[in-house]
Structure 1
Amino acid sequence: MIRSAPVSPRVTDETVELGVQLLERLEHEELSLAEAVDRLETITTSPTTTRTILDEAERRGVIRREGGIIRPRGGRFLRFESEVITKEGEFTCKRCGASVTTGYFMRLDAGEHGPFGSSCIRKVTGRE
Protein backbone atom coordinates (compact mmCIF):
# COMPACT_ATOMS: atom_id res chain seq x y z
CA MET A 1 0.00 0.00 0.00
CA ILE A 2 1.38 3.39 -1.02
CA ARG A 3 0.79 6.18 1.47
CA SER A 4 0.99 9.83 0.67
CA ALA A 5 3.00 12.14 2.84
CA PRO A 6 0.99 13.81 5.60
CA VAL A 7 -0.10 17.36 4.92
CA SER A 8 1.66 19.91 7.06
CA PRO A 9 -0.76 21.54 9.54
CA ARG A 10 0.80 24.91 8.70
CA VAL A 11 0.03 24.52 4.99
CA THR A 12 -3.53 23.46 5.82
CA ASP A 13 -3.97 26.41 8.22
CA GLU A 14 -2.66 28.83 5.58
CA THR A 15 -4.92 27.28 2.94
CA VAL A 16 -7.96 27.53 5.21
CA GLU A 17 -7.15 31.16 6.05
CA LEU A 18 -6.75 32.04 2.37
CA GLY A 19 -10.10 30.37 1.60
CA VAL A 20 -11.92 32.19 4.41
CA GLN A 21 -10.47 35.52 3.27
CA LEU A 22 -11.52 34.81 -0.32
CA LEU A 23 -15.11 34.14 0.81
CA GLU A 24 -15.02 37.30 2.92
CA ARG A 25 -14.14 39.43 -0.11
CA LEU A 26 -16.70 38.07 -2.62
CA GLU A 27 -19.05 40.60 -4.19
CA HIS A 28 -21.99 38.19 -4.41
CA GLU A 29 -25.15 38.71 -2.38
CA GLU A 30 -25.59 34.96 -2.55
CA LEU A 31 -24.25 32.03 -4.50
CA SER A 32 -24.94 28.34 -4.68
CA LEU A 33 -22.76 25.90 -2.81
CA ALA A 34 -21.47 24.71 -6.21
CA GLU A 35 -20.49 28.29 -7.14
CA ALA A 36 -18.72 28.74 -3.77
CA VAL A 37 -16.85 25.47 -4.28
CA ASP A 38 -15.88 26.67 -7.80
CA ARG A 39 -14.21 29.70 -6.17
CA LEU A 40 -12.56 27.62 -3.45
CA GLU A 41 -11.18 25.13 -6.00
CA THR A 42 -8.78 27.90 -7.03
CA ILE A 43 -7.22 27.33 -3.59
CA THR A 44 -7.75 23.61 -2.95
CA THR A 45 -9.31 20.61 -4.63
CA SER A 46 -9.45 18.67 -1.36
CA PRO A 47 -13.10 18.15 -0.34
CA THR A 48 -12.03 17.96 3.31
CA THR A 49 -10.17 21.28 3.14
CA THR A 50 -13.07 22.90 1.25
CA ARG A 51 -15.48 21.74 3.95
CA THR A 52 -13.11 23.05 6.64
CA ILE A 53 -12.95 26.45 4.89
CA LEU A 54 -16.76 26.66 4.70
CA ASP A 55 -17.16 25.59 8.34
CA GLU A 56 -14.54 28.08 9.55
CA ALA A 57 -16.04 30.90 7.45
CA GLU A 58 -19.46 30.19 8.93
CA ARG A 59 -18.05 29.97 12.47
CA ARG A 60 -16.41 33.41 12.04
CA GLY A 61 -19.57 34.94 10.59
CA VAL A 62 -18.00 35.49 7.16
CA ILE A 63 -20.78 33.52 5.44
CA ARG A 64 -24.23 32.29 6.27
CA ARG A 65 -25.32 28.93 4.86
CA GLU A 66 -28.94 28.10 4.21
CA GLY A 67 -29.42 24.80 2.45
CA GLY A 68 -27.42 24.97 -0.76
CA ILE A 69 -27.07 28.77 -0.65
CA ILE A 70 -24.04 30.71 0.65
CA ARG A 71 -24.46 34.36 1.64
CA PRO A 72 -21.16 36.21 2.12
CA ARG A 73 -21.38 38.73 4.96
CA GLY A 74 -18.01 40.42 4.61
CA GLY A 75 -18.90 43.53 2.67
CA ARG A 76 -15.17 44.23 2.13
CA PHE A 77 -14.76 43.92 -1.61
CA LEU A 78 -11.41 43.81 -3.33
CA ARG A 79 -10.28 47.11 -4.80
CA PHE A 80 -8.96 46.40 -8.27
CA GLU A 81 -6.47 49.26 -8.21
CA SER A 82 -4.67 48.20 -5.04
CA GLU A 83 -5.76 44.69 -4.00
CA VAL A 84 -5.92 43.06 -7.43
CA ILE A 85 -2.64 43.49 -9.22
CA THR A 86 -1.45 42.44 -12.66
CA LYS A 87 1.81 40.87 -13.67
CA GLU A 88 3.07 40.21 -17.17
CA GLY A 89 4.54 36.82 -18.00
CA GLU A 90 3.53 33.28 -18.91
CA PHE A 91 0.86 32.06 -16.49
CA THR A 92 -1.80 29.39 -16.19
CA CYS A 93 -5.14 30.60 -14.81
CA LYS A 94 -5.94 28.93 -11.48
CA ARG A 95 -9.63 28.75 -12.33
CA CYS A 96 -9.88 27.65 -15.97
CA GLY A 97 -6.35 26.45 -16.78
CA ALA A 98 -5.93 28.75 -19.79
CA SER A 99 -2.54 30.18 -20.66
CA VAL A 100 -2.45 33.94 -20.05
CA THR A 101 0.23 36.57 -20.49
CA THR A 102 -1.37 39.02 -18.05
CA GLY A 103 -2.02 37.42 -14.68
CA TYR A 104 -4.37 38.96 -12.13
CA PHE A 105 -3.49 38.32 -8.48
CA MET A 106 -5.53 39.05 -5.35
CA ARG A 107 -3.68 40.54 -2.40
CA LEU A 108 -5.23 39.07 0.73
CA ASP A 109 -3.87 39.26 4.27
CA ALA A 110 -3.12 35.53 4.09
CA GLY A 111 -1.10 35.99 0.90
CA GLU A 112 -1.26 36.55 -2.80
CA HIS A 113 -3.74 34.38 -4.73
CA GLY A 114 -3.58 33.86 -8.48
CA PRO A 115 -2.88 34.03 -11.32
CA PHE A 116 -6.24 34.45 -13.04
CA GLY A 117 -7.15 35.56 -16.53
CA SER A 118 -9.18 38.73 -17.04
CA SER A 119 -12.59 37.03 -17.16
CA CYS A 120 -11.84 34.55 -14.37
CA ILE A 121 -10.75 37.27 -11.90
CA ARG A 122 -14.15 38.91 -12.41
CA LYS A 123 -15.91 35.57 -11.96
CA VAL A 124 -13.98 34.61 -8.83
CA THR A 125 -14.50 37.97 -7.14
CA GLY A 126 -18.16 38.19 -8.12
CA ARG A 127 -17.94 41.12 -10.51
CA GLU A 128 -19.40 39.05 -13.32
Structure 2
Amino acid sequence: MTDETVELGVQLLERLEHEELSLAECVDRLETITSNPTTTRTILDTAEMRGVISREDGIVRPTGGRFLQFQSEVIEKQGEFTCKRCGASISTGYFMRLQAGEHGPFGSSCIRKVTGRES
Protein backbone atom coordinates (compact mmCIF):
# COMPACT_ATOMS: atom_id res chain seq x y z
CA MET A 1 0.00 0.00 0.00
CA THR A 2 1.37 3.38 -0.96
CA ASP A 3 0.44 6.83 0.25
CA GLU A 4 -0.24 7.76 -3.41
CA THR A 5 -2.80 4.94 -3.75
CA VAL A 6 -4.59 6.00 -0.57
CA GLU A 7 -4.59 9.65 -1.64
CA LEU A 8 -5.94 8.77 -5.09
CA GLY A 9 -8.75 6.77 -3.45
CA VAL A 10 -9.65 9.56 -1.04
CA GLN A 11 -9.73 12.07 -3.92
CA LEU A 12 -11.93 9.75 -5.97
CA LEU A 13 -14.42 9.53 -3.08
CA GLU A 14 -14.29 13.31 -2.65
CA ARG A 15 -15.40 13.84 -6.26
CA LEU A 16 -18.28 11.33 -6.50
CA GLU A 17 -21.66 12.69 -7.61
CA HIS A 18 -23.70 10.31 -5.47
CA GLU A 19 -25.80 11.45 -2.52
CA GLU A 20 -25.17 8.04 -1.02
CA LEU A 21 -23.85 4.62 -1.99
CA SER A 22 -23.96 1.24 -0.39
CA LEU A 23 -20.61 0.11 0.97
CA ALA A 24 -20.50 -2.47 -1.88
CA GLU A 25 -21.02 0.28 -4.50
CA CYS A 26 -18.30 2.36 -2.86
CA VAL A 27 -15.88 -0.59 -2.86
CA ASP A 28 -16.75 -1.14 -6.57
CA ARG A 29 -15.44 2.38 -7.28
CA LEU A 30 -12.34 1.86 -5.13
CA GLU A 31 -11.54 -1.43 -6.87
CA THR A 32 -10.57 0.67 -9.89
CA ILE A 33 -7.63 1.80 -7.74
CA THR A 34 -6.87 -1.26 -5.59
CA SER A 35 -8.15 -4.77 -5.01
CA ASN A 36 -6.32 -5.01 -1.67
CA PRO A 37 -8.92 -5.08 1.16
CA THR A 38 -6.49 -3.47 3.64
CA THR A 39 -5.82 -0.57 1.27
CA THR A 40 -9.56 -0.17 0.59
CA ARG A 41 -10.23 0.00 4.35
CA THR A 42 -7.41 2.54 4.78
CA ILE A 43 -8.88 4.69 1.99
CA LEU A 44 -12.35 4.58 3.60
CA ASP A 45 -10.98 5.28 7.09
CA THR A 46 -8.80 8.16 5.83
CA ALA A 47 -11.69 9.67 3.85
CA GLU A 48 -13.98 9.47 6.89
CA MET A 49 -11.34 10.94 9.19
CA ARG A 50 -10.88 13.91 6.79
CA GLY A 51 -14.64 14.47 6.51
CA VAL A 52 -14.76 13.48 2.82
CA ILE A 53 -17.40 10.81 3.53
CA SER A 54 -19.65 9.76 6.35
CA ARG A 55 -20.49 6.09 6.96
CA GLU A 56 -23.42 4.60 8.81
CA ASP A 57 -25.13 1.19 8.62
CA GLY A 58 -23.40 0.18 5.37
CA ILE A 59 -24.20 3.50 3.64
CA VAL A 60 -21.48 5.87 2.46
CA ARG A 61 -22.33 9.54 1.91
CA PRO A 62 -19.78 11.74 0.10
CA THR A 63 -19.70 15.19 1.73
CA GLY A 64 -17.44 17.04 -0.73
CA GLY A 65 -19.84 18.25 -3.40
CA ARG A 66 -16.86 18.97 -5.68
CA PHE A 67 -17.80 17.02 -8.79
CA LEU A 68 -15.43 16.34 -11.66
CA GLN A 69 -15.81 18.73 -14.58
CA PHE A 70 -15.99 16.53 -17.67
CA GLN A 71 -14.34 19.02 -20.04
CA SER A 72 -11.34 19.87 -17.85
CA GLU A 73 -10.94 17.10 -15.25
CA VAL A 74 -11.98 14.08 -17.30
CA ILE A 75 -9.87 13.80 -20.40
CA GLU A 76 -10.29 11.58 -23.43
CA LYS A 77 -7.42 9.75 -25.12
CA GLN A 78 -7.37 7.55 -28.20
CA GLY A 79 -5.43 4.29 -28.17
CA GLU A 80 -5.70 0.67 -27.15
CA PHE A 81 -6.79 0.48 -23.52
CA THR A 82 -8.39 -1.90 -21.04
CA CYS A 83 -11.11 -0.35 -18.87
CA LYS A 84 -10.06 -0.30 -15.19
CA ARG A 85 -13.63 -1.05 -14.07
CA CYS A 86 -15.02 -3.71 -16.42
CA GLY A 87 -11.90 -5.00 -18.19
CA ALA A 88 -13.26 -4.36 -21.71
CA SER A 89 -10.94 -3.44 -24.55
CA ILE A 90 -11.58 0.18 -25.53
CA SER A 91 -10.19 2.54 -28.17
CA THR A 92 -11.28 5.72 -26.38
CA GLY A 93 -10.15 5.96 -22.78
CA TYR A 94 -11.45 8.45 -20.24
CA PHE A 95 -9.08 9.50 -17.47
CA MET A 96 -9.85 11.47 -14.30
CA ARG A 97 -7.41 14.23 -13.46
CA LEU A 98 -7.14 14.23 -9.68
CA GLN A 99 -4.59 16.14 -7.64
CA ALA A 100 -2.89 12.84 -6.71
CA GLY A 101 -2.59 11.86 -10.37
CA GLU A 102 -4.42 10.62 -13.41
CA HIS A 103 -6.83 7.69 -12.90
CA GLY A 104 -8.08 5.51 -15.73
CA PRO A 105 -8.67 4.46 -18.41
CA PHE A 106 -12.40 3.89 -18.34
CA GLY A 107 -14.89 3.28 -21.13
CA SER A 108 -17.67 5.80 -21.76
CA SER A 109 -20.29 4.03 -19.62
CA CYS A 110 -17.87 3.07 -16.84
CA ILE A 111 -16.58 6.66 -16.38
CA ARG A 112 -20.18 7.80 -15.86
CA LYS A 113 -20.81 4.93 -13.41
CA VAL A 114 -17.60 5.50 -11.42
CA THR A 115 -18.15 9.26 -11.08
CA GLY A 116 -21.88 8.92 -10.33
CA ARG A 117 -23.24 10.47 -13.50
CA GLU A 118 -25.43 7.39 -13.91
CA SER A 119 -26.45 4.47 -11.70
Q: What TM-score do you get using the length of structure 2 for normalisation?
A: 0.98
Q: How many residues align?
A: 118
- Residue 67 of structure 1 deviates from its aligned partner by 1.2
The residue type paired with residue 74 of structure 1 is G
SS at match of 1:107: strand
Aligned counterparts, 1:1-128, within 5 A: 12-128=2-118
SS in 1 for 2:44: helix
Q: Any unmatched runs of 5+ in structure 1?
A: 1-6
Partner SS for 2:18: coil
Determine the C-alpha separation between the residues in 2 that align with 1:125 and 1:73. Answer: 14
Map Cα deviations across residues 94-119 of structure 1 (whole Å, 9 max, x no partner): 00000000000000000000000000
Aligned equivalents of 1:67 and 1:22: distance in 2?
Answer: 21
* Residue-by-residue CA offset, 1:51-103 (whole Å, 9 max, x unaligned): 00000000000000001000000100000000000000000000000000000
1:104 counterpart letter in structure 2: Y
CA RMSD of aligned residues (A): 0.5
Moved over 2 A (4+): none
TM-score normalised by L of structure 1: 0.91
Listed as ranges, the gaps of 5+ residues in structure 2 are none
